[in-house]
Structure 1
Amino acid sequence: GFSSSSPWPGLRTLVPVLAAMALIATRGTLAQQTLAQPPLVAVGLISYPLYLWHFPLIAFTRLHVGGAPPAWIMLAVLALSAVLAWLTYRFIERPIRFGAVPLGWRVGPLLAGMAALIPLGVAATSTHGLPIRFAPEIRGFMLSGTETSSHWRRGRCLLLLQPASAFGADCAGQGGRPLLLIWGDSYGAALYPGLLHFSKPRGYDVAQYTASACPPLIGYTLEARPFCKSINDDVVLRIGRLRPDVVILDATWGHAEAVLREGLPRTVAQLRANGIARIVLMGPPPSWEGVGLSHNVLDYYRQTGSVLPERTLFRSNDAWTRGRDALFRELTRELGIDYISVRDVFCNDEGCLSRIGPGGSQLTAFDPGHLTVPGAIFLVDHTLDDLLRPAGQPSQ
């Protein structure tokens, strides 16, 4: 009943807790006799240091490899964790717990060590991971993601595990015209700061109705996001009431082709039935392998001693993006809606833009695909005239 998509913590948390309580309470049973066997007792003795060691070792391994490590590496890491756990138990835990040193002399150094870690923890948290540990040339590219997601209006206009009733009143915009409405998932939320940046000088308003992992496809369902279908049904009703001048469909677009070919026509038909004259589908942005663009900058620097080029194919998924681009050109042409190729803005045959801005000081994405705020502004700057043109007028 558990998977990577299971909400945690929650009521499911009671299952292992109650199971542990039952094991403790039921002495003399077969389960107790089994757990009393010497090999399992040995595992129990090192279980807590094993718990402490395995996580940082796995985390550092994943960071070093740049994604999911091969199985043999993970097995080696777990074996190393077990060895370190036994050494910790034998030479640290046992002497502290059962040694001849008086209790006060054992507790004092432990408390002093804990106290010394407090300012280090505060510094690491307040600086998003002690960026001083990175070389000055790449320090500004080590993004945590909060620099971007703080602009998405998470939990209000980008719903997480929430029903449609959680949309805030301000998601509908400020009542201005023309109104550009973004409908999509977190990639649509990443577009919002770019559209907002130009809204006042260019004289338009922006509405945002987005939900994590929920593409703007009528009828779409996802077990990990139980509200996707009802959210999309609700957004269609809101669109019918707001009558935006442009509806922008924006998502990761990593879904199966069959899902897109079934869901897009149904969605477009529903929007047209609500009187929407202009529908624009934003294509997928550049995609990067591994943990994301920040890690690629770090890894490239480790390998070459240089900053990742502004335009590059290093760990780029551009072949996939090109394939999706071709598919959406076909689908939008068949449906008679407008298509904006985000790839055409960021990529050419020499590679995709990883850095933009003055001196290439800003990353275009902070993870495998979500645009940063500068990346969204860059995209909107290159596509806004096309977004604002009247329905029926050909693109420039």
Structure 2
Amino acid sequence: MANIGYRRDIDGLRALAVVPVVLNHAGIPGFPGGFIGVDIFFVISGYLITGILAREIERDTFSIVHFYERRARRILPALGAVIAACFLAGWFFLLPDEMTTLGKNAIAAIAFVSNVAFWWTANDYFAESVALQPLLHTWSLSVEEQFYLFFPILLWFLAKFSRSVLLVSIAVLCALSFAASIWATEHAPTANFYLIFFRIWELGFGSLLALGSANLPHGRAAREIGSALGIALIVGSIVTLDEFSDFPGLSALPACLGSTLLIWAGSTEKAGQPFFNRLLALKPLVGIGLISYSLYLWHWPVLVAARIFEQSVTIPLDVALLCISLSVLLAWLSWRFVEQPFRGGPDRPQLSRKQIFGWSAASMGALSAVGAAMIVTGGIPARLGNEAGARYAANVARAPIEVDCINRSPDEDPCILGGGSPDYVLWGDSHAGSLIPALQSYVTSRGQSAVVFTKAACAPLLGVLRLDQEGNVNCDVHNRGVLERIKTDYSDATVIMLGRWALLAEGERYIGEEGVHPVIARADGLEVALEAYPKVVKAGLSGAVDALAGNGNSVIVVKGIPELGFGAPGVLARHEWLGWDLPVLTSEAMQERQGRARALIDNVASESGVSVIDPADYLCGRVCAYARGKEALYRDDDHLSRSGADWLLPQLLRDAEAGDSKFPGEVLDTL
């Protein structure tokens, strides 16, 4: 094993890791794969920590207590400072549900299980946007610390055997992890990203290098080639990968291999270091590398704050550059006045082990208690005032009947609203699901009934799959099951069909909205080219409508709910609470987004002779309304709220029969 002393080029490599991460997260063009910086950090960590542990084991000075003392000095002070700052800022700017989520995420980060928490909530279709969660980035810290829960003991145990047994054992563990990551890119992508087992191989690259570098070539030419190739692999990953890449898996291999090559190439005397390692050792890069941990910690909460102020997950370039500058300043202050005092040095006394463990327990315990208080109180809604807090909670709430009815399989007992033989069938995705409570009130008041078949992400189309949805979400199987159920049991009912048509026709989420873009395939699994999305959606809708009409059902196709690009309850609450300006969605912007989807629905209706009703006729004049008084018509940026659906649905159904509609007013007139 090579003797690992301080290496300036590794600090430079840290800079090469953290800068693309920050630029990517800030939305700076040219860094679509900047997220691979985290993978570089994993390799560096595996190399340095394994080297230290192996030397201590060889010298019989290894102590697990001492190891965790070092980790506490390195990790906890800056992490605690960032969490405390998020709590403080959150008091003034975060809404109750956001504050509750922050409390949960803080406790998860302190317990180093935030990767598990984010994986778990990512499977919730209606979970809060991760782009607005200030501690999202702590998932990577959790991965590292989970690795170091077992790896030091494993290394100590394996060191009792020969060096070859040690290397082969770790190599096998890495190979299993890598193989699992490749498999999971298709079958469990969210778990692949967040969970430790799928990331072990990345830390293992560094560990294997630290343990086996003595057996590698040491010639100058080999190191120069390895260094150049390492830079090329990292830079290539940064500019070629993007949010659509299957990751980590094979897509992460070049960056991890490149990092390993750079670390290996530089493990020689300073005078003999390769050209690119000498570049990495330049003062500016080393300086950024020294503050890289704090920069990583601070940049994400700063960007989240900017998104909240901009009331959009997309921030302008000038704001992004300001956020980066502020992050660097906070990182330097954190490194100088938080990290360094706890780590000690030649010019400052080091805290004792008892002091560092005592401080860690007290500070992390206090922060956890504050986080728990946020959870118990529901995000301290009194900060908004009693009326505003209650109104916000009502605006974002989903009715129990909606939660109960959505995502039922057509093979299960159906969700029946009202009593008697169903007069209506509601068929669609989560946009249709948001109508369930209003439909229940409507049919009950008229002595009628309805049956519900709604599934998140599955618009009522035949022959269309959503490949972007994780898990067992086969929309075509579901929709064909719904169609057969309607044919068999509900041939006399009027079928109301609603989906998020614009999302599917355009193949991308609306501006200001966070999340993966839809990926459409035909029923046979063949992925569809983006330019063909409108044609495929039209064919899928025509197939469903024609089948229903042929069955004798009356059909009402509801054009899409206008998408806002911002969360209506949030902007209304902050307008009332903080006096912030209200954003506006113009009718022109709505038409630009939904034009193709609206046209294809008109085409289907004219060909099939079915009825069409348009929510925009009721919501959009010069601008599109998202509030009536202080009540939000939406519960987020694209789903109707309970009060919005209660107000809109009776008009849609009444005017579907009368063939008339009337716009009730503009957003600026109702606030």
TM-score, normalization by structure 1:
0.78
- Partner residue in 2 for 1:311: none
Q: How far is the alpha carbon of 1:76 from its aligned partner?
A: 4.3
Q: How far is the alpha carbon of 1:184 from its aligned partner?
A: 1.1
- Partner residue in 1 for 2:17: none
Report the secondary structure of 1:69's partner residue. Answer: coil
Residue 186 in structure 1 maps to residue 417 in structure 2: no
Q: Counterpart amino acid of 1:62?
A: R
1:144-175 per-residue CA deviation (whole Å, 9 max, x = no partner) reads: 97512755326x6237xxxx57x642436677
Residue 209 in structure 1 maps to residue 453 in structure 2: yes
- Looking at structure 2, the residues matched to 293 and 43 of structure 1 have their Cα atoms a distance apart, in angstroms, of 39
Cα distance change of structure 1 residues 144 and 384 upon mapping to structure 2, 3 Å threshold: closer
Residue 85 in structure 1 maps to residue 331 in structure 2: yes
Residue 269 in structure 1 maps to residue 554 in structure 2: no
Aligned pair count?
Answer: 372
The answer to whether the Cα contact below 8 Å between 1:297 and 1:307 also exists between their aligned partners in 2 is no
Match of 1:293 among 563, 568, 592: 568
- Partner residue in 1 for 2:372: 122
Which has the larger share of helix?
2
Q: Counterpart amino acid of 2:479?
A: N
Q: How far is the alpha carbon of 1:20 from its aligned partner?
A: 1.4
- Partner residue in 2 for 1:177: 421
- Partner residue in 2 for 1:32: 263
- Partner residue in 2 for 1:369: 638
Report the secondary structure of 1:158's partner residue. Answer: coil
Match of 1:22 among 201, 205, 215: 205
Cα distance change of structure 1 residues 65 and 149 upon mapping to structure 2, 3 Å threshold: farther
- Looking at structure 2, the residues matched to 82 and 55 of structure 1 have their Cα atoms a distance apart, in angstroms, of 12
- Looking at structure 1, the residues matched to 552 and 538 of structure 2 have their Cα atoms a distance apart, in angstroms, of 20
Report the secondary structure of 1:152's partner residue. Answer: helix
- Partner residue in 2 for 1:238: 485
Residue 248 in structure 1 maps to residue 496 in structure 2: yes
The answer to whether the Cα contact below 8 Å between 2:396 and 2:636 also exists between their aligned partners in 1 is no
Residue 101 in structure 1 maps to residue 351 in structure 2: yes
Q: How far is the alpha carbon of 1:186 from its aligned partner?
A: 0.9
1:241-296 per-residue CA deviation (whole Å, 9 max, x = no partner) reads: 222501111112203243443222222112233x142111112224323x321343
1:47-71 per-residue CA deviation (whole Å, 9 max, x = no partner) reads: 4433321221121111112221134
The answer to whether the Cα contact below 8 Å between 2:432 and 2:454 also exists between their aligned partners in 1 is yes
Q: How far is the alpha carbon of 1:82 from its aligned partner?
A: 3.9
The answer to whether the Cα contact below 8 Å between 2:558 and 2:614 also exists between their aligned partners in 1 is yes
The answer to whether the Cα contact below 8 Å between 2:462 and 2:544 also exists between their aligned partners in 1 is yes
1:72-107 per-residue CA deviation (whole Å, 9 max, x = no partner) reads: 543543454344334323322232233433333443
Report the secondary structure of 2:301's partner residue. Answer: helix
- Partner residue in 1 for 2:299: 54
Q: Counterpart amino acid of 1:186?
A: S
The answer to whether the Cα contact below 8 Å between 2:417 and 2:451 also exists between their aligned partners in 1 is yes
The answer to whether the Cα contact below 8 Å between 1:138 and 1:297 also exists between their aligned partners in 2 is no
- Partner residue in 1 for 2:406: 157
Q: How far is the alpha carbon of 1:194 from its aligned partner?
A: 0.8
Identify unmatched segments of 5+ residues in structure 1. Answer: 309-313
Deviates more, 1:222-231 or 1:70-79: 70-79
Percent of pairs with identical residues: 26
Q: Counterpart amino acid of 1:33?
A: W
- Looking at structure 2, the residues matched to 146 and 296 of structure 1 have their Cα atoms a distance apart, in angstroms, of 12
Cα distance change of structure 1 residues 171 and 21 upon mapping to structure 2, 3 Å threshold: farther
The answer to whether the Cα contact below 8 Å between 1:281 and 1:338 also exists between their aligned partners in 2 is yes
Residue 347 in structure 1 maps to residue 620 in structure 2: yes
Cα distance change of structure 1 residues 120 and 263 upon mapping to structure 2, 3 Å threshold: same
Cα distance change of structure 1 residues 236 and 19 upon mapping to structure 2, 3 Å threshold: same
- Partner residue in 2 for 1:200: 444
Identify unmatched segments of 5+ residues in structure 2. Answer: 1-181, 217-260, 268-276, 506-533, 661-671
Cα distance change of structure 1 residues 139 and 318 upon mapping to structure 2, 3 Å threshold: farther
Deviates more, 1:319-328 or 1:256-265: 319-328
Cα distance change of structure 1 residues 213 and 109 upon mapping to structure 2, 3 Å threshold: same
The answer to whether the Cα contact below 8 Å between 1:196 and 1:206 also exists between their aligned partners in 2 is yes
- Looking at structure 2, the residues matched to 84 and 242 of structure 1 have their Cα atoms a distance apart, in angstroms, of 64
- Looking at structure 2, the residues matched to 203 and 35 of structure 1 have their Cα atoms a distance apart, in angstroms, of 79
Q: Counterpart amino acid of 1:61?
A: A
- Looking at structure 2, the residues matched to 43 and 294 of structure 1 have their Cα atoms a distance apart, in angstroms, of 40
Report the secondary structure of 1:365's partner residue. Answer: coil
Report the secondary structure of 1:382's partner residue. Answer: helix
- Partner residue in 2 for 1:8: 190
Q: Counterpart amino acid of 1:8?
A: T
Q: Counterpart amino acid of 2:309?
A: H
Q: Alignment RMSD, CA only?
A: 3.6
Cα distance change of structure 1 residues 35 and 69 upon mapping to structure 2, 3 Å threshold: farther
Report the secondary structure of 1:198's partner residue. Answer: helix
TM-score, normalization by structure 2:
0.49
Superposed, 1:67-82 pairs within 5 Å as 67=312, 68-82=314-328
Report the secondary structure of 1:381's partner residue. Answer: helix
Deviates more, 1:80-89 or 1:58-67: 80-89
Cα distance change of structure 1 residues 212 and 143 upon mapping to structure 2, 3 Å threshold: same
Cα distance change of structure 1 residues 228 and 41 upon mapping to structure 2, 3 Å threshold: farther
Report the secondary structure of 1:216's partner residue. Answer: coil
Q: How far is the alpha carbon of 1:230 from its aligned partner?
A: 2.0
1:342-364 per-residue CA deviation (whole Å, 9 max, x = no partner) reads: 12233334x443333xxx34210
Residue 278 in structure 1 maps to residue 554 in structure 2: yes
Deviates more, 1:169-178 or 1:188-197: 169-178
Cα distance change of structure 1 residues 101 and 157 upon mapping to structure 2, 3 Å threshold: closer
Report the secondary structure of 1:247's partner residue. Answer: strand
Q: Counterpart amino acid of 1:113?
A: S
The answer to whether the Cα contact below 8 Å between 2:295 and 2:330 also exists between their aligned partners in 1 is yes
- Looking at structure 2, the residues matched to 190 and 379 of structure 1 have their Cα atoms a distance apart, in angstroms, of 11
Cα distance change of structure 1 residues 189 and 136 upon mapping to structure 2, 3 Å threshold: same
The answer to whether the Cα contact below 8 Å between 2:438 and 2:646 also exists between their aligned partners in 1 is yes
Cα distance change of structure 1 residues 298 and 172 upon mapping to structure 2, 3 Å threshold: closer
- Looking at structure 2, the residues matched to 299 and 34 of structure 1 have their Cα atoms a distance apart, in angstroms, of 53
